[in-house]
Structure 1
Amino acid sequence: MKMRQTDVLIIGSGLSGLMIAELLSLHKNVIVFTKDRLEDSNSYLAQGGIAAAVQEKDDWYDHFLDTLQAGCFHNKMIATKHLVTEGPEMIRKLVELGVEFDRKSDGTYEFGKEGAHNCARILHIGGDATGRHLIDTVKKRIIEKNLVVEGETAIRLIVENNRCCGVWSMDVNGEIAATYANAVILATGGLSGLYPVNSNASTITGDGIALAYDAGAELSDLEFIQFHPTLLVNEGKSVGLVTEAVRGAGGFLVDEKGNRLMENEHPSKDLAPRDVVSRVLFRAQRNGKKTFLDIRGITNFQKKFPTVTGLCRKNGYSIGEGLIPVAPGAHFTMGGVETDTSGRTSVDGLFAVGEVANTGVHGANRLASNSLLEGVVFANRLADTIRSERSSPSNGRVKWQGVEVLTDATSYEHIREIMNKYISIERNEDGLKTAIQHFKRYLGTTRICEFPSLEEIQKYNQVLVGQLVAESALQRTESRGGHYRTDYPDQHEKWKQRRVKRRKECYEPVETTAGT
């Protein structure tokens, strides 16, 4: 078996992972593992922009309040303050790296407005291709430094005495290797790929959460899964995302008769928080209605939203008709591997960043365009942490002993069917218990396999993560944000109706220097 040694090993190639690689590469030996190609990440697919209070009339405290209200006040306050106060500095750092945000003809930034934001504060690149441009910019710098190993999948963390000192991985040929590192960083994304209708890259199926759980790391808030209201659908399957910025530009949701679906559902109507809009569309479709995004009032749509235009054309939909067929689908994991504000997990030497981490900034429901912001802010904080800590190199060499695989194997489609039927936009006790029974049946028939296939490893991880989500959802006997229990519906009203005063003096500012 191959063996490698490095200072820092990053598992995942989304924005947060690549940013850490860029920030640490001058100070540490860094390796980045990615399951497939470097571009196969949710960050690359992100059409929405990056939110930050950088314009003069905006304020970090307003962004802070919007984030708390969207998150139904389940957010961690300190982490959320770091997110919104350090965001503007990270925008400046991205510009220094070569990122070119969209500007008006006078040279000032062009800001968009999205759901649950009190003002226009979203920066975009190329209209609706922000994620792709961010990844391309950072990727060029990373590739030049030869830091990335493509087609390498982490299959088990190497842990000794509650310290993670490396990773077992498998390449595309099935060869297993050990990579030892002073710091191992999970940047693997969330778990939304476990749902049949989702906006995620095909590689995002919860592997990082399974790795962390197997290593004994603390997990939290797995029940909070955000469903995006507007996925483009074709023959019942999701084929891409229609960014929320379309509604920010004047689009609105209608049924096949032209009735506006959000008119009487929320004070913000079509720009209500995503969990609210997703439930409205979910119920409309359950009642036999077809749901569309009406874009007829948006001028220069093709110029403003080239990615959405291309998706529609590719799937046979004409932008000229003004109606885009949409449906809600799994989009973002708010919970994950529990971390502090510097990315540390409960296992020494193991860190987590991006969507796989639960920093606590999103609460029960992520505010639009806060995910890319979280990725860069907490990547910067984690990079500072690793630079400042003394290295503790691993002395030992751990023998490969195999991994657990399922004896009674199930199909990926069946796992998705269980997730969609019992742990979807709306849940209840009976359905969650049924899902747990399904997953436990498979997990009760495992064996240790010394030379497993990648498919066997991933199948086990998917069933494990499905069970963890179902158990988490069963334990939370309330409705809040992305977790809606039909057997506890009334409790959701208090979070929907709660408001806070927009008075800056209500909360004392924190230091705004990034990375402190």
Structure 2
Amino acid sequence: MKSADVIIVGSGVAALQLSKRLRSDLNVIIITKSNVQNSNSYKAQGGIAAAIGEGDDYRQHADDTLEAGRFHNDPDIVIKMTKEAPALIKELVEEGCPFDQASNGLLMLGMEGAHRQKRIVHGGGDATGQRVIDFYLHRKNKKTTIIENMTVFELLVDKNQNSCFGVNGKNSDGQIESIFAPHVVIATGGCGQVYSFTSNAETVTGDGIALAYRAGAAISDMEFVQFHPTLLYVDGKAQGLVSEAVRGEGARLVSEDLTFIMDGIHPQGDLAPRHVVSQTIYQYIKNGQSVYLDISSIKNFQTRFPTVTQLCESNGIDLRKNLIPVAPGSHFLMGGIETDLYGKTNILGLYAIGEAACTGIHGANRLASNSLLEGLFFGKNLASWINLQTNQNSIRQSIPLKSFVKEVQPPLPDISELKERMMEFTGIVRTKQGLERHKKWLEQFQVKKWLEMDYSTLTKEEITKVFMLISSWLITSSALDRTESRGGHFRADFPYEDDSHWLRKKIDHKRHSEKDGKNEQIKATLTT
């Protein structure tokens, strides 16, 4: 039997920020289903948003965040995060995190979509995530243990006290291990791999959200999926991310005849919010036309974007032609496990941070480069809360657990078919008919029965399939419930925002009821 003071499931920036900031006397176990460098955080190209440039201000950053989120955000939390962003960057710089600097020693700042100022701090050109994660790994606390290649399949929950006290997982040998702690943190990322086109690491399959949902946690806003406009598109497949910073440096989206496709679509043109750009590219591709990034205006492209250059060259793209074929794909989940400012859920002892959490920061659509920032912000907040607690390492015996049934296993879907169907019916453009058709297809695999099943006899591959099935069902059900278009959720049959009914409402699929969020006037102008 293993025990710790804190268990963190996941190993991205939110997890590592939390671990680094916890008290030095706390024993921490980080569990990751692959290796610690195989995460969306590690793959992050763009950077971290912070209002540190001349003429910029955290209120402008907050305004841009609310606008991109179509005012479904929690403005109080948005302001808290954007206000603290410069200090978070300063701390990293002072500790030696290698961000890119100009010749005068100041941090270089990039521009990305829906930002009105250059405020994106980056490292290694387009290798920011890699630099930040490596920075944290080299400064890991002595009392932090990382367990790789373990799939957590169950949260241990005291059903009488509604409290979480540990996890069950399958290790690299497929053996079951139970690990106990008074604080259990979900930091597993989103669920981008449920789509056939995605920028996400292959490990990002909705595990944490499915785990929390089975345990009784409230889940919100699952309909809001951000589709990144520019994935490298070769031979009908998405091969990886082409950073939004490429457009920030001046690249333009063009059709086959070199027409600028974003002209007249949005005032910010190629740097419009991601849902606008994705939907525009999608329509061109649906009409049989290819779309490209014209990079001819960017000098020294290979030096500024070494990661994108390597990706293109490895897929046979001749950058001397200055055209990169692109298509939109699943990139970020704005919804997830509902939390407060400190990452606490409705289950005692269970927390969620990073993309797995629905914090109120992103609203209906995430502003570019706010994701690493969110991980830094909430990792620090949760650490500050846990550091004040005194019930460390209290392992309880003979607890009445939430029970799961052992029955004949229902069937599981073919994952390739599930991903294709999610892209078609619950993707960039949705309709009631398509969503109902797909939900019915998902429910033939008895989703609700899988929620109550015992997973201890499943293989790690089967567990992943179940988590993908549950996550797909949550997204599809939420998309069917929201009869409007907002941010990353676009309904062709309800193509407009409906503020009178939907501005602040979220779908909680644990209680299957609509509820109003905490926001009062989230479209009010931000003031000093």
Q: TM-score, normalised by structure 2?
A: 0.91
Name the SS of the counterpart of 2:444 in structure 1: helix
* 1:470 is the counterpart of 2:473: no
State the AA in 2 paired with 1:481: G
Name the SS of the counterpart of 1:128 in structure 2: coil
CA gap of 1:370–1:25, structure 2 versus 1, over 3 A, is: same
Q: Deviations over 1:95-153 (max 9, x none)?
A: 23321211111111111111110110111101100001001110122286552000111
Match of 1:459 in 2: 465
Q: 1:424 aligns with which of 418, 422, 427?
A: 427
Aligned residues: 498
Aligned-partner Cα distance in 2 for 1:81–1:75: 11
Structure 2, unmatched stretches of 5+, are 501-523
Aligned-partner Cα distance in 2 for 1:24–1:273: 36
Aligned-partner Cα distance in 2 for 1:14–1:443: 32
Name the SS of the counterpart of 2:465 in structure 1: helix
Q: TM-score, normalised by structure 1?
A: 0.93
Name the SS of the counterpart of 1:421 in structure 2: helix
Name the SS of the counterpart of 1:148 in structure 2: strand
CA gap of 1:320–1:143, structure 2 versus 1, over 3 A, is: farther
1:141-152 equivalences under 5 Å are 141-142=139-140, 147-152=145-150
Match of 1:253 in 2: 253
**Quick check: 2:98–2:123 contact (8 Å CA) kept in 1?**
yes
Match of 1:287 in 2: 287
Q: Deviations over 1:382-427 (max 9, x none)?
A: 1101101232623125689677884222211121122111100010
CA gap of 1:144–1:7, structure 2 versus 1, over 3 A, is: closer
Identical aligned residues as a percent:
45
* 1:434 is the counterpart of 2:437: yes
Q: Please state how far the C-alpha of 1:450 moved relative to its aligned partner.
A: 4.2
Aligned-partner Cα distance in 1 for 2:430–2:259: 27
1:207-286 equivalences under 5 Å are 207-286=207-286
| 283-292 or 236-245: bigger deviation | 236-245
Aligned-partner Cα distance in 2 for 1:403–1:389: 37
Match of 1:513 in 2: none
* 1:414 is the counterpart of 2:414: no
State the AA in 1 paired with 2:92: L
Aligned-partner Cα distance in 2 for 1:403–1:362: 39
Structure 1, unmatched stretches of 5+, are 495-504, 510-516
* 1:57 is the counterpart of 2:55: yes
Q: 2:131 aligns with which of 133, 145, 156?
A: 133
Aligned-partner Cα distance in 2 for 1:363–1:43: 20
Q: Deviations over 1:217-239 (max 9, x none)?
A: 00000000000000012211111
**Quick check: 2:343–2:353 contact (8 Å CA) kept in 1?**
yes
Name the SS of the counterpart of 2:154 in structure 1: strand
Match of 2:363 in 1: 363
1:74-473 equivalences under 5 Å are 74-142=72-140, 147-160=145-158, 161=160, 162-391=162-391, 393-396=394-397, 406-443=409-446, 446=450, 448=454, 450-473=456-479
Aligned-partner Cα distance in 2 for 1:97–1:344: 28
Name the SS of the counterpart of 2:376 in structure 1: helix
State the AA in 2 paired with 1:5: S
CA gap of 1:266–1:450, structure 2 versus 1, over 3 A, is: closer
Q: Please state how far the C-alpha of 1:506 moved relative to its aligned partner.
A: 5.3
Match of 1:488 in 2: 494
**Quick check: 2:153–2:455 contact (8 Å CA) kept in 1?**
no
State the AA in 1 paired with 2:487: G
Q: Please state how far the C-alpha of 1:438 moved relative to its aligned partner.
A: 1.1
* 1:20 is the counterpart of 2:18: yes
Q: Deviations over 1:157-185 (max 9, x none)?
A: 00003100000011121100111101000
